[in-house]
Amino acid sequence: DVKVTQSSRYLVKRTGEKVFLECVQDMDHENMFWYRQDPGLGLRLIYFSYDVKMKEKGDIPEGYSVSREKKERFSLILESASTNQTSMYLCASARGEPSGANVLTFGAGSRLTVL
Amino acid sequence: GQNIDQPTEMTATEGAIVQINCTYQTSGFNGLFWYQQHAGEAPTFLSYNVLDGLEEKGRFSSFLSRSKGYSYLLLKELQMKDSASYLCAVRDSNYQLIWGAGTKLIIKP
């Protein structure tokens, strides 16, 4: 019944390493999103994509990039990880236009620790 | 700026009723969502309000007052499995979601 799968639940990386977070959805959704979730803060949007090879910056894109080569897969890349990127990363997908009760389906999250 | 406020933590007793409030100030309004997130798990959709009033769905109800910038999530007949964080999110005039920090609900026997 899993619909949004994030490849890694827990990662520990060192400062300066390149980090790939993978997300795959099996619902044929057009839209995919990467958020980070930190204690005491609401979810913050990093990047989103509304179509293959398309990407839009969210509220906090600095230090991140994304790739969407196939409809079902949306990757988040940290080119050079830093300690302030230690966080829980949530991937989500949604169908079509952001109207009505068009809800997000989330993955279980990837907890990244940067040492 | 845009802001969503929710209590950080609430405690309630099994079998009781609890109301989780959410107030918002956003650039426009195109709907309000409640999500439930159990520890270590994905947030899951609970409810959606776009018009004023109460939406009931089983033990859970959600209320919206657009003029007051206010919503609440009402949970009845609380069960231990309702222990979770409850996230309030508002869709603004650009159809972007603005998220509250979440309310951690602790249910005691």
The C-alpha of A32 sits at a distance from chain B's nearest C-alpha, in angstroms, of: 13
B98 contacts B26 by C-beta, under 8 angstroms: yes
Half-sphere exposure of B41 (CA within 13 A, CB side): 13
Residue entry with tokens 């996230």 = B87
Positive or negative: CA dihedral A10, A89, A66, A106:
positive
Residue type, B28: G
Among the partner residues A45, A99, A107, nearest to B42 by beta-carbon distance = A107
Q: Looking at chain A, which residue has its C-alpha nearest residue B100?
A: A42
Summarize pLDDT for A73-101 with one digit per residue, the tens.
999 999 999 999 999 999 999 987 766 66
Q: Say how far apart CA B30 and CA B5 lie, in whole Å.
A: 18
Q: Which of B69, B85, B72, B48 is nearest to B3 (CA)?
A: B69
Q: Looking at chain A, which residue has its C-alpha nearest residue B5?
A: A42
Among the partner residues B31, B42, B44, nearest to A109 by beta-carbon distance = B42
Q: Say how far apart CA B48 and CA A9 lie, in whole Å.
A: 29
Q: Say how far apart CA B80 and CA A64 lie, in whole Å.
A: 39
pLDDT of residue A2: 61
Residue entry with tokens 């997000």 = A104
Summarize pLDDT for B42-85 with one digit per residue, the tens.
999 999 999 999 999 999 999 999 999 999 999 999 999 999 99
Enclosing H/E stretch for B56: strand B53-57
